[in-house]
Amino acid sequence: MNNPKKMTLAETIFSLIPADGSSIGNGRLRDQLSSMGHYVDEDTYSKIRNDMIRSRVLRIGRGRGGTVRRTVCSDAGTIQNETEVVDSSCHCLLVDSTGKGEGLSKVNLKAPADSIKANGVHYTPDHLCDFMAKLAIDRASTVSGPLSVLDPACGDGALLRAIGRIGDTLKMHTRLIGVDIDAGAIEKARECLSGFKNATIEVSLGDYLKGGYGQATIFDDRDSAGKQKKYDVIISNPPYVRTQNIGDVGPKELSSKFGLDGRVDLYHAFIVKAIDDLKDGGVMVFVTSNRFMVTNAGEQLRKAILTRLKIEEVIDFGDTKIFDAAVLPVVFVGVKVGTTVPAEVIFRRIYETRRRSTSRTVGSIYEAIESQVDQECVCIGEINYVISRGTMGILKSAAKTWYLARPSSAPIIDKIFSIEHKKVGEIFNVRVGIKTTADNVFIRDGWSGIEESKRPEDEVIYPLFTSDNAARWTPNLSRLKSILYTHLVENGRRTTIPLDKYPGAKAYLTDHREQLEGRKYVVKAKRDWFEIWVPQDPSLWSHDKIVFPDISTEPKFSFIPASPHPLLVNGDCYYIIVNKNLVEEALLMLGIINSKLSVFIYDELFNNKLYSGKRRFITQYIQEYPIPNPASLKARKVVDAVRGLINHSANGANEAEQSLNTAVYDLFNLSSSEQAVVEKAERAS
């Protein structure tokens, strides 16, 4: 096997996948990457994996998902009757359009994947286009005269084609207007949109967002009088790129123009401008990442949508993999009205489920999402999905996140938060762990194998808690990694270690200086080249703390008592420092958040699930959890149960956990019927 340090991460992943076309689990792949020194978070891994699937280097494995396999000769003819074989370099696809295995020609895969990653391009599959087009036409069919339909990021024109097909069927005249920055895609769109009997085609090369700046583009968004053009329908699958990744000027320009700030995505700007460009009464149908509904970064966008559109429907497609983007997609439908009026917004959601019993088998995700039964479980192929129905709720918090309020669960959520004394975020500071941005340099399973003259001194090596050590109540500390920690506190201030005092560490880091100096953001911030990018506060590591993983199928919150030997926390986890005067509150929080009720609260309010049912337990969600009065008798019962679980003094883990769940239900005054709703939802998750 090639030296992984000389291979790209994609090449390393490829090298670990069986060459015979058999499947390997994503979790196992990440474990193998970690053993080779590549500590990759799930989002990064998913993006690389999905780029390789999109480029036909890999395919989704057989079974219930969560696995991948190489594209091999036996896949011949499965995509446009082409034989596809990936060469060992993982850079190209050998394509035989005859399907006979003769005259194989190389198609470079590296450039398309890089373009996809850079530009956030994920073309929309036809079934989704048809679904979105119907949502738009159903609401705009009463428009007199030609229906003007704009796709501001039209790609190859798939969404406009879907509109054109419906227009021809209904004998409705349409103006199909598309714009994109990709000249090749525009040429393809022109070809594919020709032939409609009831449509006129206006497809242009240009930058939709720059049109509003008055800059010269081929796409002209002004009429002859210089006024902004308006449209009856705007339908789109805009690019997904964070603004900090589109150059030095782009983020400032977009933020200023569209009133956006923070860690926003390019599609936020597309949505805000599209609202501007709708006619009064115009219809907007977009498919985007569902993250904007629940993240702090999406706060400004949610506000813009709610104050300027009448949202009519939200359809969260969750982990159904309806197209190749690493994001979980949501479709939302809005109508532009003079002033928004309070209304019940239909909210539908579909996610894969572990439930085995199903009510029926359906042919597609789009057939399933039409279910009129909340919590119906259906089977598609070999996979079961649960469909949730309700209305859109808005969390009563500063960020005002959106959530699906189901008839059976909304009253329970209201009751839970009516008993709230404080939120977690009002008591504790939830921090993310250390982010080195060079894990292969700073983090190892052990340091004994390094040449003695270049082995860092024991004084700067610390045990490191990672997501692999996460467990409920008490952590699994049997397989701790260790970290070369280049920071300390001096005169009350965090600073870097004096390298000359630690010659072994200096020699080791010097060997990796080129990589570390390659972190341009460190240099730009005028930090030392050997610093950890996010080291957190070294003075806090010895304190009592609660630690939990960012990504997990269930809550895994552990209590770690104070120790003279500091245990540091990695960036794939979060932690809460517990001051001595807040121990009771911390244990109460631990009991609530490790309980079954916690999963119910999470899925009802946040539901930020990744593939395979994995949840993200990030700061903004955890800080919203309710904490009742810790001085109450019911709260003390929860705390006592938690102490028993931490100390392993309770008889039987399952019995002790059940007692804890009962105490938490009692803490929030839930009736037996309400508890049954919670338990049913937990089993279905």
**pLDDT by residue (tens digit) across 574-583?**
999 999 999 9
Structure tokens at 503: 């010659």
Closest to 676 measured CA to CA, from 588, 582, 597, 576: 597
pLDDT band (50, 70, 90) for residue 82: very low
Give the strands of the sheet with 92-96, arranged side by side: 83-86, 92-96, 105-108
d(CA 299, CA 307): 12
pLDDT, mean of residues 604-616: 81
The reported pLDDT for the residue numbered 94 is 35
| Sequence-separated (6 or more) residues with CB below 8 Å from residue 264 | 242, 243, 254, 255, 297, 298, 300, 301
What is the 8-class DSSP label of residue 211?
Answer: H
The reported pLDDT for the residue numbered 65 is 42
Strand-pair partners of 609: 615
**pLDDT by residue (tens digit) across 669-682?**
999 999 999 998 87
Contact criterion met (CB below 8 Å) for 536 and 434: yes
Whether the pTM exceeds 0.85: the reply is: no
Q: ∠185-188-190 over CA atoms, to 5°? A: 110
Pick the most confident of 14-23, 316-325, 539-548.
539-548
Angle of helix 583-593 versus helix 596-605 axis, rounded to 10: 70
The reported pLDDT for the residue numbered 251 is 60
Contact criterion met (CB below 8 Å) for 415 and 375: no
CA distances from 8 to 12, 68, 90, 645 (A): 6, 18, 10, 44
Q: Detail the DSSP E strand segments found in 461-552.
A: 461-465, 481-484, 487-490, 493-496, 545-549, 551-552
Residues in the chain: 685
Closest to 552 measured CA to CA, from 612, 621, 623, 605: 612
pLDDT, mean of residues 520-530: 92
The pairing of strands 231-236 and 147-151 is parallel
Contact criterion met (CB below 8 Å) for 672 and 678: no
Task: Report whether pLDDT(660) > 80.
Answer: yes
Pick the most confident of 164-173, 213-222, 599-608, 648-657.
164-173
d(CA 376, CA 556): 28
d(CA 335, CA 327): 25
Angle of helix 653-667 versus helix 583-593 axis, rounded to 10: 100
d(CA 190, CA 198): 16
d(CA 176, CA 161): 8
**pLDDT by residue (tens digit) across 200-234?**
999 999 889 876 433 334 455 666 556 768 999 99
d(CA 553, CA 614): 4
Closest to 604 measured CA to CA, from 455, 434, 395: 395
| Cβ neighbours, 10 Å, residue 11 | 16
pLDDT, mean of residues 156-178: 95
| Domains in the chain, CATH or no CATH each | 4-118 (no CATH), 126-343 (3.40.50.150), 344-407 (no CATH), 430-684 (3.90.220)
Pick the most confident of 49-53, 163-167, 339-343, 564-568.
163-167
Please classify residue 565 by burial: count the beta carbons closer than 10 Å to its beta carbon, then call 0-12 exposed, 13-18 middle and 19+ buried.
exposed
Structure tokens at 675: 């508890």
Contact criterion met (CB below 8 Å) for 5 and 20: no
pLDDT averaged over the chain?
83
| Sequence-separated (6 or more) residues with CB below 8 Å from residue 140 | 147, 232, 233, 282, 283
**Stretch among 139-148, 169-178, 378-387, 657-666 having the lowest mean pLDDT:** 139-148
pLDDT band (50, 70, 90) for residue 631: very high
d(CA 682, CA 599): 7
Contact criterion met (CB below 8 Å) for 533 and 570: no
pLDDT, mean of residues 319-332: 81
Task: Report whether pLDDT(414) > 50.
Answer: yes
Closest to 483 measured CA to CA, from 509, 519, 521, 511: 509
Closest to 39 measured CA to CA, from 439, 574, 465: 439
Closest to 547 measured CA to CA, from 434, 445, 660, 440: 434
pLDDT, mean of residues 656-671: 95
**pLDDT by residue (tens digit) across 340-361?**
555 789 999 998 887 778 889 9
The pairing of strands 558-560 and 105-108 is unpaired
Query: Collapsing DSSP states into helix, strand and coil, what is residue 595?
Result: coil
Contact criterion met (CB below 8 Å) for 626 and 412: no
